[in-house]
Chain A
Amino acid sequence: MSELLNFHFDVDGSDFTSAGQASIQIKKSLRRLGISPEIIRRVSIAMYEGEINMVIHASGGVADVNVTEEAITIILADKGPGIKDIEKAMMEGYSTAPDNIRSLGFGAGMGLPNMKRYTDYMDIKSEVGIGTTITMKVML
C-alpha cells in the first residue's frame, strides 16, 4: 500500500470564523488528484465537522490526512477536555456545545453522527482531561 500523499494542518482554535480552512484545502488537493466528487465530498464534510468540533470543544488541534491508492485516512487529534460518554455523543441531537455556538449554526448534536455517516470507518479514542483522537477512513 504505497502512500501517495500526506497533509498536515494545525487547526487554530481561537477563531471560529476561520474554522474549516484545512477541509477546504484538502478538498482542493483531492480535486487535483482526480478523485471522484462524491468521495471528495464525503471526506471534506467529515473533516469539516471534525475541525468545527476541535474549535468548539478543544481550542484547536492537528489534522493529518493520508491518501493511498486504497483509502483516504483522516486523523484529528486534540488536547481538549475529552469526551465523557462516547455512546451518548454519537447520538443525533446530543450536544454539549455552549449556546453561543448554536447561534453560529453548529452545536446541533450532528457533528459526530455526520462524521460516521460519511466515512467507511471511524474510531474515537478519548480520555477525559487528556484529549481526543478521531480516525476516519473513506475507501477509494
Chain B
Amino acid sequence: MKISTLKELLEAEVVCCEELLGDHVYSACGSDMMSDVLAFVKDQAVLLTGLVNSQVIRTAEMMDMICVVLVRSKKPTDEMIDLAKENGIVLLTTNKRMYDACGILYSNGLVGNKLKEQ
C-alpha cells in the first residue's frame, strides 16, 4: 500500500517527509510497547502507536520502518520530528483510535506480518 493511500484512508495529516508519500508499505504493526515492536521484524512496515516520545522514532529506525502514524490525534515532539526527518521516516497523525486505524488498514489489504522469529 502506498503511504499516500494509507494517509487518505486514515484521514491523516503529514507532519514530515511528505516527499516520501509515494513509497510503499507492505506490513503494519500497532503497539504502544516498543519492545513488542522490536520483537518481530516486518518488511518495510508502518508503525501505528499512541506513544509520544523520541524512542518511537528510534524504534522505527532500528526496524527499518518507513512510516509512523500517531493515533488519537497525538502531537509529536520537536525531537521526534527532527529524528524522523533525519532518518527519512514519514510521520503522520490521525484522529482515529488505534483499533479503528488498524482495522481500516487491515480491511484495505495491509496485513500484519506472520510472527517470524529471526
Hey, which bits of chain A sit against chain B, CB under 8 A?
16-20, 23-24, 27, 37, 41-42, 44-45, 48-49, 52, 102, 104-111, 113-114, 117-118
One of B14-22, B27-35, B67-75, B98-106 at the interface? B27-35
Q: Are A106 and B34 in contact (CB under 8 A)?
A: yes
Task: Please determine whether A20 and B58 come into contact, CB atoms closer than 8 angstroms.
Answer: yes
Q: What are 15 A-B contacts defined by CB distance under 8 Å?
A: A16-B53, A17-B55, A18-B54, A23-B62, A27-B62, A44-B62, A45-B38, A48-B58, A48-B62, A104-B55, A105-B49, A109-B35, A110-B36, A114-B38, A117-B39
CA distance A53 to B79 in the complex (A): 21
For A107, list chain B residues within 8 Å (CB): 35
Summarize B's interface: helix, strand, loop or mixed: helix
Alpha-carbon distance A113/B64, docked complex (angstroms): 20
Q: Which residues of B contact A24 (CB under 8 A)?
A: 58, 61-62
Q: Check A41–B38 contact: CB distance below 8 A.
A: no
Contact yes or no, A108 B61, CB < 8 A: no
> What's the least CB distance linking B33 to chain A, in Å?
5
Q: How many residues of chain B get a CB closer than 8 Å to chain A's CBs?
A: 23
User: Which of chain A's residues has its CB closest to B64's CB?
Assistant: A41
Q: Taking chain A's interface residues, is the majority helix, strand, or loop, or is none over half, making it mixed?
A: helix
Given A27-B62, A41-B41, A41-B64: A104 and B35 within 8 A (CB)? no
Interface residues of B (CB under 8 A from A): 32-36, 38-39, 41, 49, 51, 53-56, 58-59, 61-64, 79, 117-118
Give the 7 A-B CB pairs with smallest separation, nearest first.
A110-B35, A105-B34, A20-B58, A108-B35, A108-B33, A105-B51, A17-B54
Nearest-neighbour CB distance to chain A for B68, whole angstroms, equals 12
Please give the distance in Å from A109's CB to the nearest CB on chain B.
8
Q: Give chain B residues whose Cβ lies under 8 Å from the Cβ of A108.
A: 33, 35-36
Shortest Cβ distance from A110 into chain B, in angstroms? 4
Known contacts A20-B55, A105-B51; is-contact A45 B63 (Cβ 8 Å): yes
Is there contact, CB below 8 Å, between A105 and B56? yes
Residues of A within 8 A of B63 (CB): 41, 45
Q: Which residues of chain A are within 8 angstroms of B53 by Cβ–Cβ distance?
A: 16-17, 104-105
> With the chains together, A110 CA to B31 CA distance in Å?
14
In the assembled complex, how far is the CB of residue B63 from the closest CB belonging to chain A, in whole angstroms?
7
Chain A residues within an 8 Å CB radius of B64: 37, 41
